[in-house]
Structure 1
């Protein structure tokens, strides 16, 4: 577990260094787009779990979520992205940038849950997907509750 947290912190640190190549306003736009796309795919999975279950749709959505989660989105939280820029708004609380060890743990938890969701979705087992989906959602909520402004 300590290795996973350390890896998460290292990933965020390296990602922050890489973010210097992208303007802060673009970092905010890109991360918002990534989260919107993941949210849309979470909605597709939810609709499948609540209605007619299509394992191919669920697998495609879960794969997309895992891909974005593992894409290095930590690079989109560079200096200058902790505040609004012009009319571009961010909902990240300032504490996010001051509590990197906890952020690293939350990011690692989310990445692991998203990867597991994709793995489970590939089996087509609706009950297993339902559990993995709930686990992934709870990792999203953990970060939102602590670091996202309404």
Structure 2
């Protein structure tokens, strides 16, 4: 229970600080940058999945898990600023406007994601493929929780 409260609080604080930082980046660029971050994360998730399904390379998995944790802790919440709830210029977004109306819940989801990403990086460093598979599944659940609520298909 205390971990959940701490993660939610951390997520809300990160989103609050991110909102201040977002004022310095145009909405179109915020969407472009967040899409790039999620694409990079997706690529690293794919590397981990390939390793879990094929020949396991602990160094490659560790590098990918560290990249994901780095992004998860980078303050990407700053890229969900005012005006980024819809397409802007050439940048399309699949974020639902409801995300911007539910910041406490978004903060909790962000905290859960960050915690799962940090755990995956920690577990990957051990080289234990079975433990990585479990931690990777847990991380995927945190992604899905946010996508199900706040991302359009």
Place the TM-score, normalised by the shorter chain, in its bin: over 0.9
Q: Give, in whole Å, the separation in 2 of the partners of 1:12 and 1:106.
A: 11
Deviation per residue, 1:29-83 (Å, 9 max, x gap) = 0000000000000000000000000000000000000001100000000101111
Runs of 4+ in 1 over 6 A off after TM superposition: none
Aligned to 1:137: 140
In 1, Cα distance between the equivalents of 2:103 and 2:61? 32
RMSD across aligned C-alpha pairs, in angstroms? 0.7
Report the counterpart of residue 48 of structure 2 in structure 1.
Answer: 45
* Aligned position for 2:115: 112
In 2, distance between residues paired with 1:3 and 1:113?
13
- Per the normalisation by structure 2, the TM-score is 0.96
Length-normalised TM-score, structure 1: 0.98
Distance 2:121 2:32 in 1: 25
Alignment partner of 1:101 out of 98, 104, 113: 104
- Report deviation, 1:86: 2.1
Quote the Cα distance in structure 2 between the aligned partners of 1:112 and 1:143: 14
Superposed, which structure 2 residues align to 1:1-150 within 5 Å? 1-150=4-153
Structure 2: give runs of 5+ residues left out of the alignment: none
Partners of 2:87 and 2:21 lie apart in 1 by 21
Deviations 1:8-42 (CA, angstroms, capped at 9, x unpaired):
11110111111101111110000000000000000
In the TM superposition, residue 120 of structure 1 has moved relative to its aligned partner by 0.3
Residues 28 and 88, structure 2, Cα contact 8 Å, conserved in 1: yes
In structure 2, what is the Cα distance between the partners aligned to 1:2 and 1:45? Answer: 29
**3-state SS, counterpart of residue 21 of structure 1:** coil
Alpha-carbon distance in structure 2 between the residues aligned to 1:22 and 1:12: 15
Consecutive unaligned residues of structure 1, counting only runs of 5 or more, are none
